[in-house]
């Protein structure tokens, strides 16, 4: 196993460009799980990002909140202003693992790990976050809702780092994050939902419901068009078009579909004037 | 390959050669003889391996040793036993396998009582699995260290 | 008294097996079967490992008998050309580097020519699946009292029900671990275990060494719950075989995935009830069938089944009872001891069934239980007449009062009517747990214990019973100190080392305080007599006499001793399964309050009250902790802990996917004791360790039934399962 230690971003980008198969390491909360047993992972080359001070701070401007490439969940939980303006970020962060994970895990790592059950990604997506990628060849920006192309596949080349996550500041008239897990804390989502409404329209994002976390266009349209919904079952046709849940070790497709319909209905009932 | 790293461990400077595949947990336990930090799962779930990294509780089974270069690491061995009275009184330990990790998180909470304005003790302790105590002894001990009356097993209506 | 080793644990100074420094040790790893059943047609060593550096052991290296000594001798130490379950140990490897040992283990391919496995214990086996006896039944047991058929035929009401429980993983926080080395010609094995003498016997048997050439030492044990009752013999044998072959110390410590996948679990069960009653809810007959999944080897299944069926009819008076039980062979990873030992399974079925009956009869569940709870002078299913003076109705009333049962029933009705998707309910279980070994078990064990007087006047307890969190060290200290009038510091608890301590029996079956504690009292008395004192001598008089004795007998050991004596008036007929199954029972009533979210069908326990009568409570903090921990383990089993199985092996063998409760998933567990000293237990104590895991599952499911109107009959009652049931109900 090889580890390349970088102190500055350009240096890290150089190392990644030099070794096409090198893997960046941030908080390690995905990469190090069951590490001793995952022998194959020991035969790879890694680039350590943890000392890239430039990627740590989060920044505010008039138009956006910018999370750094190494911003952690705990950084966000501690930030009162984020709690006021982007409450879903805090809500989701508090439900990631427990404090020991929140202290180390990064938002960028959550994005690149590309788990369909992630909690950071859905709230970022519901806020129209944009992933800022950088490599020796320059910068590129990809809206998060266009970032994933398939299960664990994404529009990031191996030589690119996520150096920032840009989140536009907008007034939200509605926002909710729901995580249904098999226990109250330290659970992986069986169903995750982030829903927002702003001038830019409705965003409905589902986690653990498809090979990637994704927006739900049919549901969003249904909301935009103010379709009257009488009970959760009325949402199922749109859900069926938007997502494709599966049976796995954590839950069943049937359960996921039902819960998504019920929770969405229940959450939106008042706002949308449903019975 | 090995990596030369230096860090502060329990207030003292340490420098060593580390294998890139080494986890902080193993460095502490097998190389430095600090066996107070335990391994319960190796997957970040149980919290038995909790140490402070630059003042925050983290799972040392998920920290590659090379990442602590230049950082401040504190382990259970550095804690002042004087703080532990309530943990004994409340029955916060049974088999003890989870205990060092539990104590690390618990004392971090008591050092940051402001967290309790937004969090409950039970939420903050959720990263430390304990199979023996049912958590009441632990939660009561934390409550006692921050001067609150227990919300745990003693409270309401017990004889 | 505070936990004796508490500060050492809180400061991380306590040394568990993996904390011990071992110069020049090798790490041992296990190569396991990939298939549930079949002949091992080849074992291939892939060339990507330098095999000259690796110590390899297979079944041919077992010196005397390739058998793990337990009730039966059917389980090999290492598979000899044939495997019966996935993860069965086939080969052992060792290397100074843990990573290299792991790579070596990975580089062995065990090729199995598959044969049809038996994987469903509920279905009768097809001929090609039969591998044990004529019908794959590992053990069959029966209890009969009165005339069940006649009572059923005549009864005005008969209520039937089928109940199921799943496997449960112990999740002791310290995984299994053992180290072994040779000291001159003595094989020393040291590690995490509940029963040093089980391990010693297993080593002697397989390795052909007499007890002078084997020595077993227990290290502080990071949780056991039964999981370190019989399994440690296996890993001890493995470490020993590697150490003998390598001529160097060998350490084996399982990582969590290996521990979860390949060690024993709680037996899954299926229980059928057919109950005859009067219209006002008096039990006329209980006809009960219990089936357990035993897995691929016998292990302790016969005794788990035994305790299971003895508890199956519950703490109720009924003149006609028939209980038939069988443990089935399957090609699953063997099931084994787990806190409660069969009783949680059958008590879950019974106590859920009581609520099913109550609903069928339109009776209040409390009233149904009140009418049938055993009164003194009445007898259990085995005909054991209960005469311990405990007021079981009072235990129930106390639980109702503490939980606010009646008020909550009313407030829930209002809450449920007002809420869209939240539903609250309250549920109850009344139950008992027999302390100590079943039937003649304690007599067969013939436990022996010593209390030594040391030259400096302190005394030392020499016992094979171990501390695994349940408080042995503290309670033993208290018992000796109280008996002899000494300060706790003047009492030493000797390390459980078979070269030093007599066989005081295994640390299981809630026997340590009650049975072994009583031996300590008697051995302490004996010590007093040996130094010429009578039973009234205390404190300084005892110390002085001990020191005087040593001055007069320099270099000689001063030992007080006691051997188990059956309490008077206890009789058990093993043939007919009749009589006094246990010297004493602990009694309990638990109440759970739950809130169910109908959108997600997630159940949250929002209050829990545990009231029990366990004789005299020797140490309130420890006793409360045992109950709280047991309740939370029971809550996990009831609602979330599910072993997902493929080919008889657990596939969710990580803590991310096998969900146990966190601090945030449980309410404060409110504990109360009703005390009724038991004359034959130490200081009046009865067993307590297992009782608390019997009640939570039925109480919680009864509460869910009350909250939702649904009728759940199987655990774990995961959200997915509850949703199906609720859908069916509405
Ligand atoms: C016990 C436990 C509980 C958890 N619970 C949850 C949960 O509830 N919800 C949830 O969403 N997640 C959960 N996680 C996973 C969560 O911690 C991670 O997804 C985390 O956000 C990843 O961040 P990291 O910095 O630790 O990533 P790492 O492990 O360091 O890396 C993860 C991946 O991202 C890549 N990467 C990291 N940073 C960059 C970058 N800047 N540019 C390019 N690539 C990068 C890495 O190469 C790797 O592929 C849990 C993990 C554990 C161990
Ligand atoms: S060992 Fe690190 S969290 Fe369990
Ligand atoms: S004390 Fe045993 S796991 Fe917590």
DSSP category for residue C644: -
Residue C711's region, left for phi above 0, alpha for psi from -120 to 50, else beta, is beta
Note whether B99 contacts C171, CB cutoff 8 Å: no
If you average pLDDT over residues C569-588, what whole number do you get?
95
Last residue of a domain, one of C563, C586, C615: C563
Last residue of a domain, one of C240, C262, C284: C262
With respect to residue C602, please indicate whether it lies within any of the assigned structural domains. yes
pLDDT value of residue C75: 98
> Within 10 Å of residue C378's Cβ, how many Cβ atoms?
16
pLDDT digits 0-9 by tens, C425-444: 999 999 999 999 999 899 99
pLDDT value of residue B149: 52
Q: Does residue C431 sit in the same domain as residue C467?
A: no
CB B7, CB B18: distance < 8 Å: no
pLDDT value of residue B71: 98
pLDDT value of residue C356: 98
Q: Which residues of B touch A4 (CB under 8 A)?
A: none
Residue B148: pLDDT band by 50, 70, 90 thresholds?
A: low
pLDDT digits 0-9 by tens, A229-242: 999 999 999 999 99
- What's the CATH number of domain A172-272, 3.30.70.330, 3.30.390.50, 3.40.630.30, 3.40.980.10? 3.30.390.50
Q: Does residue C294 sit in the same domain as residue C416?
A: yes
CA distance B1 to chain C (A): 15
> Is this structure's pTM higher than 0.80?
yes
With respect to residue C7, please indicate whether it lies within any of the assigned structural domains. no
Q: Does residue C287 sit in the same domain as residue C391?
A: yes
Distance, CA of C68 to chain centre: 20
Which residues form the pocket of ligand 3, taking CB atoms under 6 Å from any ligand atom?
B 93-99, 130-133; C 173, 223, 469
With respect to residue C42, please indicate whether it lies within any of the assigned structural domains. yes
With respect to residue C418, please indicate whether it lies within any of the assigned structural domains. yes
Task: Extract the tokens encoding A89.
Answer: 């970020």
Q: Does residue C331 sit in the same domain as residue C385?
A: yes
Q: Mutate which of B3, B17, B21, B103 to disrupt the A interface (most A C-beta within 10 Å)?
A: B21
Q: Does residue C253 sit in the same domain as residue C354?
A: no
Beta carbons within 8 Å of B132's beta carbon, 6+ residues apart:
B94, B95, B98, C173, C223, C469, C625, C629
Q: What CATH number did the domain enclosing C446 receive?
A: 3.30.365.10
Q: Does residue C286 sit in the same domain as residue C390?
A: yes
Beta strands in C623-723 (DSSP E): 645-646, 649-650, 669-673
Is the pLDDT at A171 greater than 60? The verdict is yes
Is the pLDDT at B156 greater than 50? The verdict is no
Query: Please, what sign has the CA dihedral across residues C351, C508, C692, C318?
Result: positive
- Class of domain B81-145 as given by CATH: mainly alpha
Is the pLDDT at B158 greater than 60? The verdict is no
If you average pLDDT over residues A52-66, what whole number do you get?
97
**Is C421 within 8 Å of chain A by CB?**
yes
pLDDT digits 0-9 by tens, C249-269: 999 999 999 999 999 999 999
Domains held by chain C: number: 3
If you average pLDDT over residues C184-194, what whole number do you get?
97
Mean pLDDT, chain C, integer: 97
Which residues make beta-bridge pairs with C170?
none
* 3-class SS of residue B149: coil
Closest residue to B50, CB basis, from A36, A46, A100: A100
pLDDT digits 0-9 by tens, C717-727: 999 999 999 99
CB C202, CB C252: distance < 8 Å: no
Last residue of a domain, one of C513, C530, C563: C563
Q: Does residue C284 sit in the same domain as residue C257?
A: no
Closest-CA residue to C564 (of C480, C491, C459, C464): C464
Q: Does this complex have an ipTM over 0.90?
A: yes
Secondary structure of C262-286 in HEC code, one letter for each residue: HCCCECCEEEEEEEEECCCCCEEEE
Given CATH 3.10.20.30, say whether it is the number of domain B3-77: yes
Task: Determine the Cα–Cα distance for residues B58 and B49; give it in Å rounded to an integer.
Answer: 8
Is the pLDDT at C337 greater than 50? The verdict is yes
Q: Does residue C242 sit in the same domain as residue C309?
A: no
Is the pLDDT at C619 greater than 60? The verdict is yes
User: Which helix or strand (DSSP H or E) is residue C9 part of?
Assistant: helix C6-10
Task: Determine the Cα–Cα distance for residues A67 and A76; give it in Å rounded to an integer.
Answer: 9
Q: Does residue C46 sit in the same domain as residue C89?
A: yes
Give the domain extent around C499: 441-563
**Is C534 within 8 Å of chain A by CB?**
no
pLDDT value of residue C729: 86
pLDDT value of residue C196: 98
Residue bearing the CA closest to ligand 1, atom 43:
A161
Is the pLDDT at C220 greater than 60? The verdict is yes
Q: Which residues of B touch A46 (CB under 8 A)?
A: 20
Q: Does residue C195 sit in the same domain as residue C54?
A: yes
If you average pLDDT over residues B87-114, what whole number do you get?
97
pLDDT digits 0-9 by tens, C375-397: 999 999 999 999 999 999 999 99
Closest-CA residue to C324 (of C381, C398, C252, C263): C381
Where do the structural domains in chain A lie, given as residue ranges? 172-272
CB C401, CB C366: distance < 8 Å: no
Strands B56-59 and B50-53: antiparallel
């Amino acid at each position: 196993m090889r580890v390349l230690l970088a102190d500055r971003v350009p240096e890290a980008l150089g190392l990644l460009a030099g070794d096409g198969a090198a893997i960046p390491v941030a908080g390690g909360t995905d990469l190090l799980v069951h590490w001793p047993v995952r022998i194959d992972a020991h035969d790879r080359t890694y680039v350590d990002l943890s000392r890239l001070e430039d990627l740590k701070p989060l920044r505010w401007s008039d138009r956006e909140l910018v999370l750094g490439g190494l911003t952690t969940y705990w950084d966000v939980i501690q930030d009162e202003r984020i709690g006021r303006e982007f409450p879903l970020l805090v809500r989701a962060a508090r439900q990631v693992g427990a404090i020991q994970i929140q202290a180390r895990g990064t938002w960028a790592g959550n994005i690149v790990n590309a788990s369909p059950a992630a909690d950071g990604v859905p709230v970022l997506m519901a806020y129209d976050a944009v992933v800022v990628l950088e490599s020796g060849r320059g910068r590129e920006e990809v809206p998060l809702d266009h970032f994933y192309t398939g299960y664990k596949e994404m529009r990031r080349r191996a030589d690119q780092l996520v150096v920032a996550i840009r989140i536009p500041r907008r007034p939200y008239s509605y926002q909710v994050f729901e995580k249904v897990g098999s226990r109250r804390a330290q659970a992986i989502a069986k169903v995750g939902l982030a829903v927002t409404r702003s001038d830019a329209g409705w965003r409905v994002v589902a986690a653990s419901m498809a090979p990637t976390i994704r927006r739900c266009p049919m549901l969003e349209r249904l909301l935009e068009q103010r379709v009257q919904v009488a009970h959760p079952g009325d949402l199922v046709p749109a859900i069926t078009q938007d997502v494709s849940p599966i049976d796995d070790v954590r839950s069943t497709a049937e359960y996921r579909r039902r819960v998504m319909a019920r929770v969405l209905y229940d959450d939106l009932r008042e706002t949308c004037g449903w019975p | 390959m090995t990596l030369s790293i230096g860090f502060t461990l329990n207030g003292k400077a340490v420098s060593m050669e580390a294998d890139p595949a080494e986890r902080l947990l193993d460095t502490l336990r097998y190389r430095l003889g600090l066996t107070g930090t335990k391994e319960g799962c190796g997957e970040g779930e149980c919290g038995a391996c909790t140490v402070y990294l630059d003042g925050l509780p983290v799972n040392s089974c998920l920290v590659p040793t090379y990442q602590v270069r230049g950082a401040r690491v504190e382990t259970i061995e550095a804690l002042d036993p004087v703080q532990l009275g309530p943990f004994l009184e409340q029955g916060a330990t049974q088999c003890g396998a989870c205990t060092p990790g539990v104590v690390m998180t618990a004392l971090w909470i008591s050092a940051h009582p402001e967290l309790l304005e937004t969090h409950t003790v039970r939420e903050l302790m959720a990263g430390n699995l304990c199979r023996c105590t049912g958590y009441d002894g632990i939660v009561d001990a934390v409550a006692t260290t921050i001067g609150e009356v227990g919300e745990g097993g003693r409270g309401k209506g017990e004889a | 008294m505070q936990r004796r080793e508490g500060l050492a644990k809180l400061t991380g100074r306590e040394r568990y097996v993996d904390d011990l420094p071992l110069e020049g040790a090798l790490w041992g790893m296990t190569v396991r079967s990939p298939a549930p059943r079949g002949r091992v047609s080849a074992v291939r060593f892939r060339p990507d490992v330098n095999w000259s550096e690796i110590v390899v052991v297979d079944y041919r290296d077992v010196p005397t008998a390739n058998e793990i000594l337990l009730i039966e001798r059917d389980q090999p130490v290492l598979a000899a050309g044939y495997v019966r379950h996935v993860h069965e140990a086939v080969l052992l490897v060792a290397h100074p580097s843990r990573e290299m040992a792991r790579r070596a283990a990975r580089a062995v391919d065990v090729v199995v020519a598959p044969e049809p496995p038996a994987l469903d214990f509920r279905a009768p086996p097809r001929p090609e699946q039969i591998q044990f006896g004529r019908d794959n039944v590992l053990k069959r047991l029966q209890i009969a009292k009165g005339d069940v058929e006649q009572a059923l035929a005549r009864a005005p009401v008969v209520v039937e029900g089928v109940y199921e429980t799943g496997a449960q993983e112990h999740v002791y926080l310290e995984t299994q671990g053992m180290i072994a080395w040779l000291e001159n010609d003595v094989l020393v094995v040291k590690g995490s275990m509940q029963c040093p003498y089980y391990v010693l016997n297993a080593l002697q048997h397989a390795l052909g060494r007499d007890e002078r050439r084997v020595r077993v030492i227990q290290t502080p044990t990071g949780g056991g719950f039964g999981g370190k009752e019989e399994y440690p013999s296996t890993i001890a044998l493995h470490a020993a075989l590697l150490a003998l072959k390598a001529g160097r110390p060998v350490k084996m410590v399982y990582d969590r995935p290996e521990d979860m996948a390949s060690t024993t679990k709680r037996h899954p069960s299926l229980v059928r009830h057919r109950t005859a009653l009067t219209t006002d809810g008096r039990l006329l007959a209980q006809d009960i069938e219990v089936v357990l999944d035993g897995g691929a080897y016998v292990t302790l299944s016969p005794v788990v089944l035994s305790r299971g069926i003895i508890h199956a009819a519950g703490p109720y008076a009924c003149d006609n009872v028939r209980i038939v039980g069988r443990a089935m062979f399957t090609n699953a990873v063997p099931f084994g001891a787990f806190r409660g030992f069969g009783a949680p399974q059958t008590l879950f079925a019974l106590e859920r069934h009581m609520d099913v009956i109550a609903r069928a009869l339109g009776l209040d569940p409390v009233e149904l239980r009140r009418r049938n709870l055993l009164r003194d002078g009445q007898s259990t299913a085995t005909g054991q007449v209960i005469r311990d003076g405990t007021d079981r109705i009072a235990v129930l009333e106390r639980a109702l009062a503490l939980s606010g049962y009646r008020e909550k029933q009313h407030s829930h009705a209002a809450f449920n009517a007002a809420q869209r998707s939240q539903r609250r309910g309250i549920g109850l279980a009344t139950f008992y747990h027999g302390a100590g070994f079943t039937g003649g078990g304690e007599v067969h064990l013939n436990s022996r214990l010593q209390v030594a007087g040391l030259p400096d006047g302190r005394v030392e307890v020499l016992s094979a019973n171990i501390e695994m969190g349940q408080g042995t060290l503290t309670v033993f200290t208290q018992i000796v100190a109280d008996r002899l009038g000494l300060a706790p510091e003047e009492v030493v608890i000797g390390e459980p080392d078979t070269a030093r301590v007599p066989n005081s029996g295994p640390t299981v079956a809630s026997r340590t305080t009650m049975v072994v504690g009583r031996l300590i009292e008697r051995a302490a008395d004996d010590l007093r007599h040996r130094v010429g004192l009578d039973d009234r001598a205390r404190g300084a008089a005892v110390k002085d006499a001990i020191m005087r004795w040593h001055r007069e007998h320099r270099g000689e050991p001063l030992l007080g001793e006691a051997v188990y004596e059956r309490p008077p008036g206890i009789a058990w007929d093993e043939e007919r399964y009749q009589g006094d199954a246990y010297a004493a029972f602990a009694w309990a009533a638990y109440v759970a309050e739950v809130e169910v979210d109908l959108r997600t069908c997630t159940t949250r326990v929002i209050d829990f009250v545990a009231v029990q009568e366990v004789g005299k409570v020797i140490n309130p903090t420890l006793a409360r902790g045992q109950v709280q921990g047991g309740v939370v383990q029971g809550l996990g089993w009831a609602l979330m802990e599910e072993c997902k199985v493929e080919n008889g092996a657990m596939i969710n063998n990580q803590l991310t996917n096998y969900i146990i409760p966190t601090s945030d998933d449980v309410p404060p567990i409110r504990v109360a004791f009703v005390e009724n000293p038991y004359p034959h237990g130490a200081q009046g104590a009865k067993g307590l360790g297992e009782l608390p895991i019997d009640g939570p599952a039925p109480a919680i499911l009864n509460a869910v039934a009350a909250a939702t109107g649904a009728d759940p009959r199987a655990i774990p009652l995961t959200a997915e399962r509850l949703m199906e049931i609720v859908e069916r109900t509405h």
